[in-house]
Amino acid sequence: MEIRDRVIVITGASSGLGRALAFELAGRGARLALAARREEALEDVAARCQQLGGAAIVVPTDVTIEAEVAQLAQTVVDRWGRLDVWINNAGVTLYAPLITGDIEQHRRVIETNLWGYVFGARAAVPIFRRQHAGILINVGSVLSEVGQPFVPSYVISKFAVHGLSETLRVELANEPAIHVCTAMPYAVDTPHFQVAANAIGKTPRAMPPVQAPEKVARAIAKLVERPRRTMFVPRAIVLGLALHRLFPRTVERLLLDSLRRWHVSEEPEQTGDGNLYEPEGDAKVHGDRPPQLSTPQFFGWVAARLVRNEVEAIGRLAKRATGRAAQGRGA
């Protein structure tokens, strides 16, 4: 699909990846409906989109309220007479244990990250059916495929987003010109980490190799041009996922060790709701939380940890073998 003059909705368009997406698509001549909770921030994005050669309207929307999402879709159709692409992107994060964290905070993450996408699908798909054409893009995560501690409700919501896409593909199997795509990026350098709700009192930082939002935005733009079911950004993610399927316990222990050490620093951070209920922080594309170590340093640490784990495993096997041999002699 040629992007120029296509009518595209972006939720979560005020900052981070959504903001980068707006700029990327505007530069290719798209007509954009920008949705998020902050009207002033959206106006700033819209002005920049106009400068880049696109058209943009601002539709303040809380994606946890279905009536507002439905009104967003209606506003787009009233303005341009059609809807070509809907990008479900709005999302929030909570750093808290699943078992002891505040259940209302966990619930809010799932309301935003899952129900916000469900409401988007319920608004967009009927229009696509009338047109017999359209593209729904759900922005998931590598965490749609593998678990992670510290952000359990976020992981649960992203797994559910994958399920939402799979379900819709079957429902729309008789509509060959309607596409449901799931984008699954690895860590992205956005304000995501600094505006997250925090109940652990420590400072989260991106895990290397962190990606520029502009890179992920370009990849998602390719889904508009040539839809496909699932897209990993970067593609090398599939190698890590394959290793997880082959050696799940080993990879999970490595994940836990690395995330404890490098994702959540010992630097204290004030606990609070972050942007769960109200917008927070500067509306910008990039974040202010660089990784604690470079990508080469991180992979060096991973390699060293794998060697250490292997040596420890061999030691445990040798100890058990020695114990069994001693028992045999005693018998």
Q: Is the pTM of this model over 0.85?
A: yes
Question: Residue 237 and residue 158: Cα distance in Å, rounded?
Answer: 16
- Range in 19-28, 119-128, 316-325 with the lowest mean pLDDT: 316-325
Across the range 67-74, mean pLDDT stands at 98
Question: Residue 25 and residue 54: Cα distance in Å, rounded?
Answer: 8
**Mean pLDDT, the chain, integer:** 93
Return the percentage of the chain with pLDDT > 90, whole number. Answer: 80
Question: Would you say residue 321 has pLDDT above 70?
Answer: no
Question: Would you say residue 66 has pLDDT above 80?
Answer: yes
Question: Would you say residue 327 has pLDDT above 80?
Answer: no
Return the percentage of the chain with pLDDT > 70, whole number. Answer: 94
Q: What is the distance, to the nearest Å, from the Cα of residue 79 to the centroid of all Cα atoms in its chain?
A: 29
In 118-175, DSSP assigns E strands to 134-139
Question: Phi and psi at residue 31, in whole multiples of 5°?
Answer: -100, 120
Q: How would residue 76 be classed by pLDDT, with cut points 50, 70 and 90?
A: very high
Q: What is the pLDDT of residue 93?
A: 97
Q: Copy the structure tokens of residue 133.
A: 């054409």
A 10 A CB-CB count for 259 gives 16
Across the range 275-287, mean pLDDT stands at 93
Active-site residue list: 154
* Position with higher pLDDT, 234 vs 306: 234
CB 95 within 8 A of CB 197: yes
Q: How would residue 235 be classed by pLDDT, with cut points 50, 70 and 90?
A: very high
Q: What is the pLDDT of residue 105?
A: 98
Q: What is the pLDDT of residue 207?
A: 87
Q: How would residue 183 be classed by pLDDT, with cut points 50, 70 and 90?
A: very high
CA 147-150-151 angle, 5° bins: 65
- Range in 56-60, 140-144, 249-253 with the lowest mean pLDDT: 249-253
Question: Would you say residue 331 has pLDDT above 60?
Answer: no
- Range in 65-69, 134-138, 161-165, 249-253 with the lowest mean pLDDT: 249-253
